């Protein structure tokens, strides 16, 4: 059983989704606008969000970007749009999955179950990836300490308040100190996406740098090699530091 938020402005479709998901033993709340969805997500903990794109106040794609600014909760986009470029943009902007309307109740339930399973796997294993779980030991790089199992990170003895995705990214890099990790590998192993653009990684790197007290112009731990990838290294070890 999961706690789900359905964001759908059509009352008939919303009622049908609530009924279907409730019958699948989920606890369901619903709203009809993007702003209501943002308020609900900020105030209530959900396991996943089902997001329609055709909302009356904001386009669902805009709502997705705003959701990603405040939470890493898995989002399944429900849309009538079947344009491949649009779907790629949605996945790049943070959607975990999508369905093109119309879809069956069984199809929606299966997609939600899969998304919850992936999210649960990352949480239980501290952001590990299929076939390659993160080490159980605490990872130490300079003044940075990352505990993958407890999902806890510290910098110079002070706890870091990280989102799920920020922690996954930091832990993945910390497990490979000094190693340049290709961007395609980060998309595949941290975001579980086979394609996307650099903006997805750059945005999260920017947020993570801010919390590590550094910038792209003055990096301490996170070093980007243009066109290659990213590496995490203790201050003073990078040749250009």
CA triplet 90, 94, 100: central angle to 5 degrees?
A: 40
pLDDT at 129: 38
Residues 145 and 109 in one domain: no
Residues 12 and 118 in one domain: yes
pLDDT at 131: 37
Structure tokens at 25: 């033993």
Is 240 domain-assigned?
A: no
Residues 83 and 166 in one domain: no
Structure tokens at 59: 């386009």
Closest CA to 197 of 58, 89, 59: 89
In which domain, by residue range, is 49 found?
A: 3-124
pLDDT at 24: 86
pLDDT at 126: 42
Can you state the angle between helices 164-174 and 198-212, rounded to 10 degrees? Answer: 90
CA triplet 107, 185, 210: central angle to 5 degrees?
A: 100
Residues 119 and 32 in one domain: yes
pLDDT at 127: 42
Which CA distances in Å does 11 have to 34, 39, 46?
A: 15, 20, 21
Residues 18 and 105 in one domain: yes
Residues 110 and 147 in one domain: no
Q: Which residues of the chain have pLDDT under 70?
A: 119-136, 193-198, 237-241
Residues 112 and 150 in one domain: no
């Amino acid at each position: 059983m999961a706690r789900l938020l359905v964001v759908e402005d059509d009352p008939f479709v919303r009622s049908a989704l609530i009924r279907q998901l409730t019958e699948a033993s989920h606890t369901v709340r619903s709203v009809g606008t993007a702003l209501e969805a943002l308020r609900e997500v900020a105030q209530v903990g959900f396991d996943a969000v089902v997001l329609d794109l055709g909302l009356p106040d904001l386009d669902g794609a805009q709502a997705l970007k705003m959701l990603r600014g405040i939470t890493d909760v898995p989002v399944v986009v429900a849309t009538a749009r079947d344009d491949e470029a649009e779907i790629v943009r949605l996945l790049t902007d943070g959607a975990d999955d999508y369905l093109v309307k119309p879809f069956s109740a069984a199809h929606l339930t299966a997609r939600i179950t899969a998304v919850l399973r992936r999210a649960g796997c990352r949480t239980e294993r501290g952001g590990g990836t299929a076939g390659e779980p993160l080490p159980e030991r605490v990872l130490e790089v300079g003044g940075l300490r990352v505990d993958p199992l407890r999902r806890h990170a510290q910098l110079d003895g002070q706890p870091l308040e990280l989102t799920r995705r920020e922690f996954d990214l930091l832990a993945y890099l910390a497990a490979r100190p000094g190693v340049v990790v290709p961007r395609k590998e980060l998309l595949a192993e941290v975001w579980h996406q086979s394609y996307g653009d650099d903006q997805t990684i750059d945005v999260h790197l920017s947020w993570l740098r801010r919390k590590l007290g550094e910038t792209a112009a003055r990096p301490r731990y996170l070093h980007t090699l243009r066109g290659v990838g990213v590496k995490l290294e203790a201050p003073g070890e990078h040749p250009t530091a």
